[in-house]
Amino acid sequence: MTPKARKQFAQHWLRSEEALNQIVAAAQLQKSDRPSGSAKGDSEALLLTADRILEIGPGTGILTRRLLPEVQSVVAVEIDRDLCTLLVKKLGAVENFLLLQGDFLTLDLDTQLASFPNFQQPNKVVANIPYNITGPILEKLLGTITHPAAEPFDLIVILVQKEVAERLYAKPGSRAFGALSVRVQYLAECELICHVPAKAFSPPPKVDSAVVRLRPRMVEPKATDPKRLETLVKLGFSSKRKMLRNNLKSVVECDRLTQLLEQLDVNPQARAEDLSVQQWVALSNTLAPSS
């Protein structure tokens, strides 16, 4: 019997086989099967190349079941105690499954895994995350412009609200391109995998969803003063209807900014969403004291 979804945890059970297949395919999973005839000494190297998955909010385990046969291990973090009980009954005997009960946002994964020597640090994230904490989850997975993740994941595949997904992979000049777009795209390549309608869930959410794939990497060249870049982005998008020179006048004189924008081949009357991530970095580097 499927447990009743709880609003406090923003629970919606994904039922679409097509969406599940797309999520698993997008993760490009690699198993740890040893090729025939390989030496025993090669086993450690093989395990290091095998995928170790972090799943945030496994819910009833429908995605977890798809992942387990394809990877070295799945470490799942679930906040709902009743769902943890259900998952233990369903998957507790599976050797490559580790369930951690708690709030992912406050959980120290390194400390938790220290108690389970058979489970290495995950290298990929595959999850249907709670929509109400998408921003904080992304920040914990990727870090921030000022403090990027010290050991970034190889790949992140997540199911999120469609509107948020559109902001993650938005291109400069589009209405969806905003501060979140710049912050995330500075830290990762973002792409749309598929749209998932509300009817694919039980109970259906009030919005449609989408699967996105993030490949963590730093934009090159990097910001020489990451804190300044964060400040510029925050101010630049503080009022999207205003021109950039008006939003940034507290940190750079209008004539000076006009000159810099022309050097970057950007219209001096541009708004924040008209600049690419690389142009934001270039603007920040030009303004940085170290330049």
Does residue 129 share a domain with residue 257?
no
Query: Could you tell me which of 45, 55, 44, 49 has the C-alpha nearest to residue 31?
Result: 49
Q: Cα-flanking dihedrals φ and ψ of residue 22, to 5°?
A: -65, -40
φ and ψ at 159, to 5 degrees? -100, 120
- Containing structural domain, residue 243: 226-287
CATH of residue 252's domain is: 1.10.8.100
Q: Rounded to whole angstroms, how far apart are CA atoms 4 and 249?
A: 52
Residue 221 placed within a domain: no
CATH number of the domain that residue 95 is part of: 3.40.50.150
Q: 108 and 250 share a domain?
A: no
* 38, 158: one domain: yes
- Tell me if 238 is assigned to some domain: yes
94/201 same-domain check: yes
Same domain, 199 and 260: no
pTM of the full structure: 0.90
Per-residue model confidence as pLDDT tens digits over 237-269: 999 889 999 999 999 999 999 999 999 999 999
Kindly state whether residues 154 and 206 are assigned to the same domain.
yes
Compute the chain's Rg from CA coordinates. 22
Helix, coil or strand: residue 242: coil
The tokens for 11 are: 């629970």
d(CA 284, CA 233): 9
Say if residue 192 is in the same domain as residue 254.
no
- Statement to judge: residues 191 and 122 lie in one domain: yes
Mean pLDDT of 183-187: 98
Same domain, 178 and 88: yes
Q: Would 1 be classed as within a structural domain?
A: no
pLDDT digits (tens, 9 = 90+) for 29-53: 998 654 444 454 555 555 557 999 9
What does the DSSP 8-state code read for residue 51? -
For residue 126, pLDDT over 50 is answered with yes
Q: Are residue 143 and residue 231 in the same domain, yes or no?
A: no
Contact between 19 and 98 under an 8 Å Cβ cutoff? The reply is: no
What is the per-residue pLDDT across 65-116, written as a single tens digit (0 to 9) for each? 999 999 999 999 999 999 999 999 999 999 999 999 999 999 999 999 999 9
